[in-house]
């Protein structure tokens, strides 16, 4: 059974912070943005990169500690091969262009997902970017590539099963904390707020375990148009929420 400490009850009271520690974002709508302008889909993805740059700057300015962006899901491999190829090339180009600027701005960059499914050249760039920025102390920017929430839980379960088989872990010791420690976001706080653009209202296999208690904010704005104003609207929504973590409103309302 999952337990919640008193600090979480306190954070759900009237002292709810205006800025979440960790924000996760599903960046939806690039293709539709391009279609509405009679442009090819890859043009929407390129405009989406500009929105990423904009929101990373805003998140750092607002004092967010962790920002996790859903860039490419496990299911996105099903898209047309040409689109997938263009997306992979876009990731490579973006890494080459942005990593120095992120480093200068003290951003720590990391990636989660099935790296063995990615092109070797992209994996090398990812590794170099993580190594270059690993000692930075500002915003933690996490990019989910070839990631799926079910994949994450299955991979964690396999690691735990291997430890049990090797007599390194007893069945009785497997609990929430044990499983969380093997997930892609192990060692990082769970997202407090999920933002999804594009008008859809679902989490699409993103961080299934870690979003258990996140506040969810959806907007119709397509990702390339997502602005500082939209980001602040999401923060305003978050600050208005009472986070109960399974407790009653009366419990968390007591100072």
**Could you give the residue numbers annotated as active site?**
28, 76
Q: Which residues contact 82 (CB under 8 A, 6 or more apart)?
A: none
Q: Which residues contact 101 (CB under 8 A, 6 or more apart)?
A: none
CB 72 within 8 A of CB 146: yes
The kind and range of the H/E element at 142 are strand 140-147
CB atoms within 10 A of CB 77: 13
Among 4, 7, 10, 12, smallest CA distance to 243 is for 12
Residue-level length of the chain: 255
Please give the distance of CA 101 from its chain centroid, rounded to a whole number.
21
CB 138 within 8 A of CB 102: no
């Amino acid at each position: 059974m999952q337990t919640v400490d008193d600090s979480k009850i306190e954070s759900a009271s009237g002292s709810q912070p205006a800025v979440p520690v960790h924000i996760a974002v599903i960046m939806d709508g690039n293709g539709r943005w391009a279609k509405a302008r009679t442009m090819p889909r890859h043009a929407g993805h390129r405009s989406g990169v500009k929105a990423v740059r904009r929101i990373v700057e805003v998140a750092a300015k607002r004092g967010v500690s962790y920002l996790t962006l859903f860039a490419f899901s496990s299911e996105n491999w099903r898209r047309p091969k040409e689109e997938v190829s263009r997306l992979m090339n876009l990731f490579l180009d973006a890494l080459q262009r942005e990593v120095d600027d992120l480093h200068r701005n003290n951003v720590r960059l990391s990636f989660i997902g099935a790296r063995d499914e990615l092109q070797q050249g992209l994996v090398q760039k990812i590794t170099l970017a993580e190594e270059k920025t690993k000692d930075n102390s500002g915003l933690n920017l996490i990019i989910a590539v070839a990631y799926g929430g079910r994949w994450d839980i299955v991979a964690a379960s396999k690691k735990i099963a291997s430890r049990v088989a090797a007599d390194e872990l007893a069945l009785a010791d497997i609990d929430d904390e044990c499983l969380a420690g093997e997930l892609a976001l192990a060692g990082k706080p769970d997202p407090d707020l999920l933002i999804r653009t594009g008008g859809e209202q679902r989490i699409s296999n993103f961080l299934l375990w870690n979003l258990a208690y996140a506040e969810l904010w959806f907007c119709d704005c397509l990702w390339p148009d997502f602005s500082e104003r939209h980001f602040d609207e999401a923060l305003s929504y978050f600050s208005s929420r009472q986070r109960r973590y399974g407790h009653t409103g009366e419990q968390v309302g007591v100072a």
